[in-house]
Amino acid sequence: MHADDALAQGERYYNARLAVANYRDIFARWAHDSAVLRAAVPCRLDLPYGTQAMETLDLFLPAGRPRGTLMYIHGGYWRSLDKSDASIVAPPFTAAGYAVAVVNYALCPAVSVETIVDQVRRAAAWLHGHSADWGAPPERLFACGHSAGGHLAAMLLATDWPALQPGLPARTIAGTVCVSALYDLRPLLQVPSVLEATRFTPESAAALSPALHRPLTKAPLLTAVGLDENPGFHEQFLAISRSWHGVHAGHVACPGRDHFTILDELTHNDGAIALAALRLMQSQHATLLQ
């Protein structure tokens, strides 16, 4: 394939904004609905999990003692969006008795994706260490992410937690839900709109690809993809389902959903992804006691 043709195919496969003409309207809806939610429900905003300006999270609390904590990581190809756009993830999970922590991180090109991975790992370590502050059991810390956030959530399952921070259990993350996620970053080397911000090299793309590594515990991975998404996101699902088949606990195929509207299946109480995620989280309660 000619180099220019390969780059054009890369954009067609992975540039979701090209595929969804009204994506700006969707982003605006996320931001508006999230702001309304924060004003209406119990939450603790801008809690620092590190020392840098973007190392903060918003915590949404259920009524009563939390059954566990869900860490949510927003997408945006590591270069855009913010935790303030993602508060709408919380309601299905707080209604089921879970605390929800929506995490921020610094963005490319100001920082590298390697730095972002480190930040998200620090956020998970902080949530594990501070869960008693909101009454949640530390062993029930789950992770969820969309798009690039799904990549970051998957990287948590490939993390050597005791090596990262003495005292952390190997299974710091009890399970992960990855929505329209990226697991093998090498195809992004043919996507100019992504490379402009991330500056991936063949070496860094491989090093940052969960599909090329292995999960370090038996914590389950649930995946989801919209049937109307760019072809690349379907290929990404196939890659992780093959390479992580031992922990791949299920897949949610979402008819009529594209890369952005798929989040409705996570943010609505009756959404297919929210229901599947809660089933996975609840199934782990007995497992974690064994």
pLDDT tens, residue by residue, 55-78: 999 999 999 999 999 999 999 999
- Given a contact cutoff of 8 angstroms between Cβ atoms, the answer to whether 222 and 277 are in contact is yes
Across the range 267-288, mean pLDDT stands at 90
Q: Which amino acid is at 175?
A: G
Span 48-57, pLDDT tens digits: 999 999 999 9
Beta bridge partners of 254: 226
Contact present, 236 and 181 (Cβ < 8 Å): yes
Q: What is the pLDDT of residue 264?
A: 98
What confidence category does residue 290 fall into, taking pLDDT thresholds of 50, 70 and 90? very low
**Mean pLDDT, rounded, of the chain:** 96
Please provide the DSSP assignment of 168-231 as one string.
Answer: --TT-S-EEEEES-----GGGGG-HHHHHHH---HHHHHHT-GGGS--SS---EEEEEETTS-H
Question: Are the beta carbons of 99 and 71 closer than 8 angstroms?
Answer: no
Q: Is the pLDDT of residue 6 over 70?
A: no
Could you tell me the pTM of the whole model?
0.96
What residues pair up with 145 in beta bridges, in sequence order? 73, 178
d(CA 51, CA 244) in angstroms, rounded, equals 34
Q: 3-283, which class in CATH?
A: alpha beta
Domain ranges of the chain: 3-283
Q: Looking at the predicted structure, is the pLDDT value of residue 266 above 80?
A: yes
Confidence of residue 8 (pLDDT cuts 50, 70, 90): confident
CB 181 within 8 A of CB 151: yes
CA-to-CA distance for 152 and 117, rounded, in angstroms?
A: 6
Q: Read off the pLDDT band of 43 (50, 70, 90).
A: very high
Helices and strands in the chain, H and E counts: 12, 8
Edge-to-edge strand list for the sheet holding 175-179: 43-48, 56-60, 99-103, 69-73, 141-146, 175-179, 221-226, 248-254
Residue count of the chain, please give it.
290
- 260: three-class secondary structure by DSSP: coil
Please check the confidence at residue 287 and state whether its pLDDT lies above 80: no
Q: How confident is the model at residue 152 (pLDDT cuts 50, 70, 90)?
A: very high
